[in-house]
Structure 1
């Protein structure tokens, strides 16, 4: 006998769904048997990222800017909308902070009206240039409130404040994740982030631009690991709101990252050193103790394996 699971299927809103992370999240949610409404204004996202879902009856695309109110009927909300690379979020910094603050408010109001669970994609940038290493969720951060990165850093910090105030004031169920550097297929080739920059430059045989002396460190999480953490957080026990770090605690300098990419691609590109951008963090590494305890989560994809998959994507895309 065929069992009708219609009443068990969730209708899920993903804002920023045509972006790098949003499109991978939608793939996962659809694979889990949900209906997904993808909302994106296509400022940094692209329909190409979700083109393979065009004929999926459980997928719907809506072009909309979440700084404007949205009236839809859904069971859950993942709020990922916001440009996340310095080139994009500094292009229109006022718009960036509005997306984080006004957009978050609109999604929280929608969640309040629907009684829906709502998820906020926050960032390790809330820690700024950290004086605590590795970064734990209880650390309040070291952020310049008036710098060129502040539209993103402080916008995300304010969004976290809004989420917790709405929870305390209205009782809505919230989930807040702090995403550390993530990479993988569908990254924008011109987003200015270090992994895509290095790969594109290596594949084109161009000089690889290293800012500073290359000793600053990052922790790189492959996209499939991040998406698994996001879904685990959304489905975690009621009363656990986060914020929770999701990232790979393996720490690499910029020089080590460049050397890995040069080795995999076989590129003859040369390393060139340029001035470090303003407020660029010197080090970044997540403490994932909370994610391990509450979500049973830890990353599975090593940097070398993830870079090979990402490079294979860019080889076809360029």
Structure 2
């Protein structure tokens, strides 16, 4: 049985990746320090023989006994509310954590996949965003701790590939949603849904004309899985190119929930991207991948999850 280490295993994306690899017949080692993750996301896996959990901070030395075939590094605060509250931890997990895990991959002869992000493009001057766009990022702005941590991860990963011959993969993840998102993580979808379900006003930052492209989590996980087993080592965008304004998205949530919530507007945070849409030509050509879940279908599933979590 092949063995895979997934960091950030108790988080939103990490827990879904654990599910996918268990389903595919792998022995999964989940690692998390539970800074932003929750054991609730993976408690259903604890009784399984082919699942182990290590409570560990990857910015410290990482040791996993035995053979390892694959390492997926998904440990990091990912929402603005988290990385603005924990800027040093965010920078450390993107630098020291990535370095430790690349060293482990080198030692074990394991293939390494890093979770990068569309935030490496910053507030883009090119639309839609292709992998050969270098980005427009403010390194000392409030979002720089996350953006630059991810850009550093990509550079370190490429260096280990070129200098040490480590097999590496880089996925650039665009906005993703689905069950196991935290209601309090500050991102648009959980914020809008919790406000609508409570009957509160929905808070939109800026005038709502900024755009995002939302990918359902199952589609994202499938793209990541295909990338890991591809022969391609350069960055690949994985996301849904269906673009929508934040105002329209808030209106969709109000309609879906049947809420009487009204939309209110607050100032746009500094360096918040005005546009976000992936060019997925590379994923289509190399991975034979494109998203399958329609946004309205995915939102219905996500809404049912949030209904079960919300304390009214």
Shorter-normalised TM-score: what interval?
over 0.9
CA distance in 1, matches of 2:239, 2:86: 27
1:45-96 CA distance string (max 9 Å, x none): 0000001111111111110000001111321100000000001011120111
Map of 1:196 onto structure 2: 190
Q: What is the RMSD of the two structures over their aligned residues, measured on CA atoms?
A: 0.6
Say whether 1:207 aligns with 2:186: no
User: What is the distance in 2 between the residues matched to 1:87 and 1:68?
Assistant: 24
Does the alignment pair 1:25 with 2:25?
A: no
Unaligned runs of 5+ in 1: 1-8
Partner of 2:210: 216
Aligned match for 1:268, one of 257, 260, 265: 260
The aligned runs of 1:252-263 (5 Å cut-off) are: 252-263=244-255
Partner of 2:128: 134
Q: CA deviation at 1:242?
A: 2.3
TM-score (norm: length of structure 1): 0.96
SS where residue 43 of structure 1 aligns?
coil
Shift of 1:302: 1.1
Alignment of 1:88-103 (within 5 A): 88-103=82-97
Partners of 2:263 and 2:90 lie apart in 1 by 32
1:106-139 CA distance string (max 9 Å, x none): 0000000011100000000000000000000000
1:121 and 1:94 mapped to 2: Cα distance?
19
Q: Specify which of 130, 145, 150 is matched with residue 144 of structure 2.
A: 150
Equivalent residue in structure 2 for 1:114, among 92, 108, 117: 108
Distance in 1, Cα, partners of 2:152 & 2:62: 21
Q: Determine the structure 2 residue equivalent to 1:172.
A: 166
Whole-angstrom CA distance in 1 between matches of 2:16 and 2:72:
13
SS of match in other structure, 1:90? helix
Q: Secondary structure at the match of 2:42?
A: helix
CA distance in 2 between partners of 1:27 and 1:314 (Å): 20
What's the secondary structure of 2:85's corresponding residue? Answer: coil
Structure 2 counterpart of 1:4: none
Are 1:43 and 2:35 an aligned pair? yes
Unmatched segments (≥5 aa) in structure 2: none
SS in structure 2 opposite 1:229?
Answer: helix
2:51 aligned to which of 53, 59, 65? 59
1:159 is paired with a residue of what secondary structure? helix
